[in-house]
Structure 1
Amino acid sequence: MRRIHIHVNTSEADFAASRDYYSGLFGQPPGKLRDGYAKWMLEQPRVNFVLEISDLAPGQPGIHHLGIQVDSDQELADLGAAAKATGAPMLEVGETTCCFSRSQKNWVQDPSGVRWELFRSIADAEDYGEKTPAEQANYT
């Protein structure tokens, strides 16, 4: 059975307070920390947990989106096929730089409008990256 990371992305009004809170809760500092961005790759439970200052992830503070992170191209293709089979619309992004990582990704929404990012991280990146206009419209 494949192992996946569930991804949780939150938009934070007080980034420093939230970073300190989650560092205490998880018992470790973020593995990736940039200006307005913090990421923990937890193993128990297997979660990719991200905080972003609210101007990087516009909208109300709180959960911004959820995601499923896989390790291979085949797992991403299989996950995309399963999502398409539900009939939900999919925004196919492909290879991109986002959140200080090079990745391949797609976006889907559940029937209630909850956004899910389906992705595979390829490598770290020095910059946050830029979203396409379609992805930006989906992200806000």
Structure 2
Amino acid sequence: MTSSPAFPAAHEFHMSLRVADLARSTAFYTAFFGLPPKDRTARYSTFIVPHLHLNLVLLVNDRGEALDTYSLYHLGLGVAGKAEVIAAYHAAVAAGAEIVKPPRTTWRGTPLHELWLRDPSGYLLEVYA
């Protein structure tokens, strides 16, 4: 990865999401990523996913407010190819995800292999290559 003069190259992508049920979401992402959280407390779970350069923190929704899963349209996870999209589909099904669009290939000038699913809190995830 190269950096521009205006912004240095990224080492990882970090995102924090408030979730409806921390235990359920932690179990889902453990099964989906195939690895346990690096750190877990009663208030949060942190997943470090090296091959995706992802640092994902799940936070307790301690204010009791409705989660706004609409404003964050989706979280996209880029993988190496079609086989990895299909593998992610099987991992998502095993983890209990709601499959919105099963693996498919669309053509917009070049092929795009994609899978769309929802996590237990309703966040939309796209796995693509």
- When normalised by structure 2's length, the TM-score is 0.43
More strand by share: 1
- When normalised by structure 1's length, the TM-score is 0.40
Q: Which has the larger radius of gyration?
A: 2
